[in-house]
Amino acid sequence: MKHINAEELGITKEQKFLVETLWRVVKSRENAKNWANNNPETKRKIRSASARKRRKEDPKKHKEIKTKWRLAHPDRDYVRKKRWNKNNPEKTRCFVRRRRVLKAKSEGTHTLNEWLELCAEYNNACASCGKVGKLTEDHVVPLSKGGSDYISNIQPLCGPCNSHKGVNCTDYRTPRTEGFN
């Protein structure tokens, strides 16, 4: 911006100061936008860090803001949750399993690492048919019959074997895994 002559424009020095200040602000914002467009990854990191800082400083306010957003944008929240569930299948299964255990008012719990170790112990194969592949957590004594959710009451079964077993108390585990409940 070229120098403003206040007398030529018929404005006061205070008005001239305000115009020049506004011009600097506008240019500063333009520069900031240009920088952000040229450095999107750095901008994302800065925004993430400041968001983490705000969450840590006032978690109650963050929860309130998050709840308001979810209520105002149910469709977008649904899509966000679906995407997260798809990208985190093991964690999703843990949440669903934990909810079932709480709903059944069963005792005990086990971690994702304990489950993965149990699967590795069986070479990621079904304890019933020996098929290698995707395994499900089966409660030897079902939750509905008073079984616990401790890892000692869990056996790795493939989907078909787990469905076939149903609510029976069939133990397919090898002798090295002793005791349950």
Give the mean model confidence (pLDDT) for residues 50-56: 90
Residue 177 above 60 pLDDT? Answer: no
Q: How confident is the model at residue 70 (pLDDT cuts 50, 70, 90)?
A: very high
pLDDT tens per residue across span 3-13? 666 667 777 87
> How confident is the model at residue 181, as a pLDDT?
43
How confident is the prediction for the chain on average, in pLDDT? 86
Check: CB of residue 138 under 8 Å from CB of residue 96. no
So what's the pLDDT on residue 180?
Answer: 44
What does the alpha-carbon distance between residue 38 and residue 48 come to, in Å, rounded to a whole number? Answer: 18
H-helix or E-strand containing 86? Answer: helix 74-87
Question: Under CATH, to which class is 107-165 assigned?
Answer: mainly alpha
> What are the residues whose beta carbons fall under 8 Å from the beta carbon of 176, sequence distance 6 or more?
121
pLDDT in the model for residue 57: 93
Amino acid letter, 40: P
pLDDT of residue 1: 53
Q: Let me know: does 61 contact 51? Beta carbons within 8 Å.
A: no
What are the boundaries of each domain within the chain?
A: 9-86, 107-165
